[in-house]
Amino acid sequence: MQILFGILNVALLGLLIFGAFSFKRKFILYSTIGIMASNVLSNIIYLFTDTYTNPFSTIVNTLLSLLPFLAITFITYCKIYKKDIAFPKHTRFIPAILLICSNFLSNIATSIIHNLSESNTTVGVNVLSSIISSILPAFLLVLLTSRILSEPKPKKEIPNGEYIDLFKHILLLIFTFGIYYLVWIYKTTIYTNNCHNEEYRNPTNKLLLCIFVPFYSIYWVYKTAQRIDKLAKQIGTSSDIATISLILALFVPIVAPIIMQSKINELLKPATHKVAQEPATSTNTTAQNTSSVADELLKFKNLLDQGAITQEEYDKKKTELLNL
């Protein structure tokens, strides 16, 4: 049972990290509530299954462990539903301070409740070790709270994608031991931000999520393939690689980025052809204009030779046509 709750907490923690990196505060809110509920439920089960556990000690420790999460929940809720509340800068330290204080009080309370024959030195060492072990989680809580309180940066100008030879792409995927794949994720995230009516995705955040959150890369492949399909529709091309990319990401992960890059190459080709055709179009237009002026001059020359117009009229028309 404890293993099951451990897996659930890891999944909820991954959801929390995803919400923090992608500025999705509702994900943070729901995952924080889920972590609190999971901890309370696991402690209740542990209380009834372990006859040697002191009930009062378990209840006190559980309540104290909830304090930093309650602070995170309150701050996140206010940022979502009470946007008129302005939090001071030092607010980001509150959950971290509560974490350190809760660990300190938990150790003190445990010592008092059990009233064991431990020396003052042993109690002091336990309290000190709990404070030291809280430093890293407290630092991470400061980063998380800062993320909740901050606002996403405005959308930047998005560069065009990069045409990559498929043979080179495949070799790099195979022989760089995943390093090239991470670089490709970063660049492809930037390119797919060109998709209209879609939320801007920070490439650094997506890269970190793919590295540290289990199975997130599968989700990234599916959502990115969807954006590639939409980019194809924007330029009038058919594309439907989202579903197949998801299946391949699940069972043959190396094939999905090959299919996606192949489609990106197809989308980038029309732009190249368009640029290449523009000079030719311009040349044809110039040639047509030159031919039209020559025909007009020849027509007026014939009229001059026939005596239909005077030399003066001919010179005037010639000046107008040649823009002299």
Show pLDDT as tens, one digit a residue, over the chain (324 residues).
667 877 887 888 777 877 777 778 888 889 899 989 988 888 888 777 776 667 777 888 888 888 999 999 999 999 888 888 888 888 989 998 988 888 888 877 777 766 554 455 566 666 677 777 778 888 888 888 888 888 766 555 445 667 899 999 999 999 888 889 999 999 999 999 988 888 889 898 899 999 988 899 999 999 999 999 999 998 888 899 999 999 999 999 999 999 999 999 998 875 444 443 444 444 445 545 555 667 777 777 777 776 767 777 777 777 777 765
Please name the residue ranges forming H helices in the chain: 2-21, 25-49, 55-81, 94-114, 120-133, 135-149, 166-175, 179-192, 203-212, 216-234, 242-251, 255-305, 311-322
d(CA 76, CA 65): 18
d(CA 57, CA 50): 13
Element (DSSP H or E) covering residue 324? none
